[in-house]
Structure 1
Amino acid sequence: MMLYLMDIWDSVRGFMAAGGNVLWLVAFVLFVMWALMIERYWYLKWISPKKHRAIIAAWDAREETTSWYAHRIREAWVSQASQELNDRMLMIKTLVAICPMIGLLGTVTGMISVFDVMAVQGTSNARLMAAGISMATMPTMAGMVAALSGVFVSTRLDQQMKIRLEKLKDRMPHH
């Protein structure tokens, strides 16, 4: 088992080395993005149901739920719940949008490396140019894959949050 993990780690290190320093930046942004998305799923599964039950209990405990003031209180509670649900979603969406841009930064730095090799060695050394080309293509690919995974998961999170908020509104009648 330990040997298998070492083989995986060696493969990852080789991939990261071939992709250049920008690939480490993509990995860091991907890690932060996924940590935030996992936290949001955890919030949806464990924290928000408790908070929503407390809001519904407070609403049901009110004697009067039809006046203008009661409607404003309900709106405030729903707004606060919405704000707590959407907390960190802007950061997640920003990180999703940044991933391809960081990948393009890798393309630029890789191509600079290729042009540097061409200036120093000439165009006859394909092996040296290949290292720069891999530094150009790997971060781009990694940035796009990171962004696609973030798009799918953040869209799913948005849908679940909207559903959760609508269920909260439905359980707080205001006739």
Structure 2
Amino acid sequence: MLGFGEALYAIRQFMDQGGPVLYGVLAVTFVMWTLILERVWYFGVVARRDIDRARQNWEQRRERKSWYAHKIRSAMISEVKASLSANVSMIKTLVATCPLVGLLGTVTGMIAVFDAMAVFGSGNARAMADGVSQATIPTMAGMVAALSGVFMSTFIERWAKRASERLEDSLTTDH
């Protein structure tokens, strides 16, 4: 098993092989996962309080059958839905951005390959290999980041939908 210093060295070497665009992929992935973890924390800790507060406010109402009561119920559900689905669109946008940043790495890597070919000709495989690694590593990293984000954004979206449907079902109009 690698020690901490050896792991940092391996990561640094990987980042250097991928070129400067790999740092962009890393930044987008970091922001995306920060938002994902915030949503997981929200659902684990805060969402229950928001849902319980909406239920309590509804249960405290004496009258629940009028048009006005239905509008208040709709507003309560809307507020909780907005809280439940906050940042989901930003997460989806970052998921779509990851492969695009990776493709930018492909373009810059291929430019490095063509530069090496212009300077050294096609006989210097080492110079071309650096450009090829700069072309493939960011693309792969962007796709891996996007796949993890797709899974989690779908999971969060379903979680929010189920929670809002349960809230909607629990706010009965009987009384």
CA distance in structure 1 between the aligned counterparts of 2:76 and 2:47, rounded to whole angstroms: 13
Deviation at 1:51, TM superposition (A): 1.0
Identity %: 51
Query: For residue 55 of structure 2, what is the aligned residue in structure 1?
Result: 56
Q: Deviations over 1:107-131 (max 9, x none)?
A: 0000000000100111100001000
The amino acid of 1:99's aligned partner reads C
Q: Give 1:147-158 correspondences, 5 Å limit.
A: 147-158=146-157
CA distance in structure 2 between the aligned counterparts of 1:46 and 1:151, rounded to whole angstroms: 23
The amino acid of 1:139's aligned partner reads P
Q: Deviations over 1:118-162 (max 9, x none)?
A: 001111000010000000000000000000000001100111111
Query: For residue 69 of structure 1, what is the aligned residue in structure 2?
Result: 68
Counting matched residue pairs gives 174
CA distance in structure 1 between the aligned counterparts of 2:4 and 2:155, rounded to whole angstroms: 32
Quick check: 1:31 aligned with 2:10?
Answer: no
CA distance in structure 1 between the aligned counterparts of 2:74 and 2:173, rounded to whole angstroms: 10
**Partner SS state of residue 109, structure 2:** helix
The amino acid of 1:50's aligned partner reads R
Query: For residue 123 of structure 1, what is the aligned residue in structure 2?
Result: 122
CA distance in structure 2 between the aligned counterparts of 1:19 and 1:13, rounded to whole angstroms: 10
The amino acid of 1:111's aligned partner reads M
**Partner SS state of residue 3, structure 2:** helix
Query: For residue 7 of structure 1, what is the aligned residue in structure 2?
Result: 6
The amino acid of 1:147's aligned partner reads A
**Partner SS state of residue 43, structure 1:** helix
Q: Deviations over 1:59-79 (max 9, x none)?
A: 000000010000000000101
**Partner SS state of residue 74, structure 1:** helix
**Partner SS state of residue 123, structure 2:** coil
TM-score between the two structures when normalised by the length of structure 2: 0.97
**Partner SS state of residue 18, structure 1:** helix
Q: Give 1:156-171 correspondences, 5 Å limit.
A: 156-171=155-170
Query: For residue 17 of structure 1, what is the aligned residue in structure 2?
Result: 16
Deviation at 1:174, TM superposition (A): 1.9
Gaps in structure 1 of 5+ consecutive residues? none
The amino acid of 1:162's aligned partner reads K
Gaps in structure 2 of 5+ consecutive residues? none
The amino acid of 2:30's aligned partner reads F
Q: Give 1:77-88 correspondences, 5 Å limit.
A: 77-88=76-87
Deviation at 1:90, TM superposition (A): 0.8
**Partner SS state of residue 145, structure 1:** helix
CA RMSD between the two structures: 1.1
Query: For residue 94 of structure 1, what is the aligned residue in structure 2?
Result: 93
CA distance in structure 2 between the aligned counterparts of 1:162 and 1:109, rounded to whole angstroms: 41
CA distance in structure 1 between the aligned counterparts of 2:122 and 2:53, rounded to whole angstroms: 70
